[in-house]
Amino acid sequence: MGDYVSKALGPDAWDGFAGLAERHNGVFGGCWCTWFHTVAAEKTHTTEGNRDLKCRLVSEGRAHAALVYDGDRAVAWCKFGPPDELPNIHHRKQYEAELDVLPDYRITCIFVDRRYRHQAMSAVAPKGALDLIAAAGGGVVEGYPHDTGGKKCAVLYDGTRTLFERAGFDFVRSKGTRNCVMRRTVPASG
């Protein structure tokens, strides 16, 4: 792997994030990585509307991600944030009915530029998010990956159970038919 650098998504990193999203037609049908962020009142259903919404959320400090750069080009991201920033998780009713601990942070989306796939980049982006969480004081972090039984799959926005296990997360429980709840406590960094 090359020498990749992770940076926090913010107004100063918007151009890098936007460039990556634009190279992939707004990502996942024009989502612009807004699906988990928003409640119905803020959600749009157009690529341009989602782009504008994401830009506003970033400028307001309501959108967090670790952007992975290869030189000056963003090539991956891992979206994270507190539950009130990312309320729109899949199987939410089941999740809330079985809730034992509300995490401090959620990891909800990992995206890798098509030219950087199959290079373990899906592991680099979450590490960047965990480093940013540690720098912000740490806490309990959850992810909701697919539980594929160890099988490789096509692009999965939420990663796999195996990916999260390699990053130090523990399996908590199943969620829906193919997802699970994974959890890790991240200590604050120096």
Dist. CA 41–CA 175, nearest whole Å: 26
Inter-residue contact 109 to 36 (CB < 8 Å): yes
Q: What is the pLDDT of residue 151?
A: 64
Tokens in use for 155? 């692009």
**CATH architecture of structural domain 5-186:** 3-Layer(aba) Sandwich (3.40)
From edge to edge, which strands make up the β-sheet containing 139-143? 5-8, 64-70, 73-81, 105-112, 139-143, 179-186, 170-175
Distance CA 116, CA 121 (A): 7
Query: Residue 1's pLDDT is what?
Result: 47
Residue 107: name the closest of 155, 61, 141 by CA. 141
Beta bridge partners of 171: 182
Q: Compute how many other C-beta atoms are within 10 angstroms of the C-beta atom of residue 150.
A: 9
What is the reported pLDDT for 171? 96
Q: Is residue 67 within 8 Å of residue 129, measured between CB atoms?
A: no
127: helix, strand or coil = helix
Q: Which residues of the chain have pLDDT under 50?
A: 1
State which amino acid sits at residue 27.
V
Q: pTM of the prediction?
A: 0.92
